[in-house]
Amino acid sequence: MFRDTVRRLAEEKVKPRAQEIDETGEFPWDIVELFREYGLLGVAMPEEYGGGGADLLTSCIAIEEVARVCATSALIIAAQHLGAMPILIAGSAEQKARYLPDIAQGRCLSAFALTEPDAGSDAGGTRTRAIKEGHQYRITGSKVFITNGGLAKTMVVFASTNPSAGTRGISAFVVTLDQPGVSVGRIEKKMGIRGSQTAQLLFDDVVVDESARLGAEGDGFKIAMRTLDRTRPGIAAQALGIAQGALDVTVQHLAERRQFGQTLNQFEGLQFMVADMQTQIEASRQLLYRAAEIVESAGFDSKSSAEVTRFSAMAKLMCSDTAMKVTTDAVQLFGGYGYIRDYPVERMMRDAKITQIYEGTNQVQRLVIFRNMDGGGQ
């Protein structure tokens, strides 16, 4: 019932906006309001904070169904949970009560600010500094490629409190967009997910109280990694939805387009391609749903196990590789029409690419999987 409800919402309200969102590159505030009205922005956040109280699998289904018609709109849901997750994982009761209700109920957007110009896959290279002065910290530095950057009122910023300690010297802080010293730099122009705002954030002597720190000093890297373990399935769901949407429109096209006196779906070679696409999508779906169950069973408060980390990474890896393969084949099956912006598969192909890159590149996912294998991977 939940899937059917979200699918109907996506088909009736989101799909008609998808092409315009991509062409204009404007952030779709109307879609945010739509999701807020239907409770999708905090669908998997605890009810005590105004969320839907659903499990991770339900959240993944919501993202998947929206991504079938618009990857940008699906990212709104995924990014909201990403920004909230460090607070859910490591926040005190007071921090959760202060920040989560506005995020869960969609009154403000959230953001996760980890990546820097010299610290992408290598989070240990974080140069943003947080210098303690009494009961306060002074944050200085910059972040790049931040989803919802400049739009999110609440963000979790990772900064080094002890540079000599590498990853063990990184701490996490809740920072609000309106604090003095916070500014927005470059707004990126992207290949895909063009309606999602990706920005550089600048921090110039931003003073935050000690109460804004999540966990203890030096816990930031662990908080970030535990967050990604719990949010990568959402990106996998986005990728899965893109792939399914591409297959849907391709099957329809092959049934309507005629060449050599018959519809394209009567050619055996094309049937083989479609069969492979369907098989890859369903295999990815089963892995994602299994990963969602495993991650959900760990809860917010427990430390990530090797199994949680491995399945989260495997789901993200497989779903995003599948999305890229399926959308590439979809463009091929559309022929010349697949390269034209009047048809959705070229947008889906462009949108699919980022799922292999953000929240950890797929090369990093493979390292993570190997290192968390049972037996010889350590």
> What CATH number was assigned to the domain covering residues 2-104?
1.10.540.10
Tell me whether residue 230 is exposed, middle or buried, using C-beta atoms within 10 angstroms of its C-beta: 0 to 12, 13 to 18, 19 or more: buried
184 near 128, Cβ under 8 Å? no
pLDDT in tens, the chain (378 residues): 999 999 999 999 999 999 999 999 999 999 999 999 999 999 999 999 999 999 999 999 999 999 999 999 999 999 999 999 999 999 999 999 999 999 999 999 999 999 999 888 888 889 999 999 999 999 999 999 999 999 999 999 999 999 999 999 999 999 999 999 999 999 999 999 999 999 999 999 999 999 999 999 999 999 999 999 999 999 999 999 999 999 999 999 999 999 999 999 999 999 999 999 999 999 999 999 999 999 999 887 657 799 999 999 999 999 999 999 999 999 999 999 999 999 999 999 999 999 999 999 999 999 999 999 976 555
Instruction: Specify the residue for token string 């083989």.
Output: 272
Homologous superfamily (CATH) of 110-214 is Butyryl-CoA Dehydrogenase, subunit A, domain 2 (2.40.110.10)
Tell me the CA distances in angstroms from 69 to 15, 105, 256, 342, 344, one per residue in order. Answer: 5, 24, 20, 14, 9
Task: List Cβ neighbours of 3 (8 Å cut-off, separation of 6 or more).
Answer: 61, 65
Percent of the chain with pLDDT over 70: 98
Domain ranges for the chain: 2-104, 110-214, 220-371
Clarify whether 359 is annotated catalytic.
Answer: yes
Note the pLDDT of residue 125.
Answer: 86
pLDDT in tens, 59-74: 999 999 999 999 999 9
pLDDT in tens, 284-336: 999 999 999 999 998 876 577 999 999 999 999 999 999 999 999 999 999 99
Of 64, 116, 296, 359, catalytic: 359
Express the helix, strand and coil content of the chain in percent, nearest 5 each.
Answer: 60, 15, 25
Note the pLDDT of residue 376.
Answer: 53
Note the pLDDT of residue 375.
Answer: 61
214 near 173, Cβ under 8 Å? yes
> What CATH number was assigned to the domain covering residues 220-371?
1.20.140.10
Say which amino acid occupies 244: Q
